[in-house]
Amino acid sequence: MANIDDDMKTKFANDKHRFVANVVYTGNWIKNQFSEFIKPFGVSPQQFNILRILRGANKWVSMNDIKNRMVEKSPNTTRLCDKLLEKKLDILRA
């Protein structure tokens, strides 16, 4: 099993600091794995998030609702949606 002290090449002051660093490290690892998984589909994690919201809604969703439902909040949701439309990935027309 990997040791966070070895992976990060540091010595933590206590277990609380080690735990927080481990959570952040693990979260970033998962995020990177997910980004690599969706890369062949040509969408970003934020665009995937929007597609997930639209698919679950099964009806018209306002831009404000999309912004509120996003896992990772993004101030440029409109631009992300425009990019999905350019890629013809709008599931509302399906």
Q: What are the residue ranges spanned by the domains of the chain?
A: 13-40, 43-93
Q: Is the model's pLDDT at 8 over the cut of 50?
A: yes
pLDDT in tens, 13-28: 898 998 998 899 899 9
Mean pLDDT over all residues of the chain?
85
* Residue found under tokens 């999905």: 84
The pLDDT-based confidence of 74 (bands split at 50, 70, 90) is: confident
Q: Is the model's pLDDT at 83 over the cut of 80?
A: yes
For residue 20, give Cα distances in angstroms to 5, 7, 91.
12, 14, 38
- Three-state DSSP string of 22-62: HHHHHHHHHHHHHHHHHHHHCCCHHHHHHHHHHHHHCCCCC
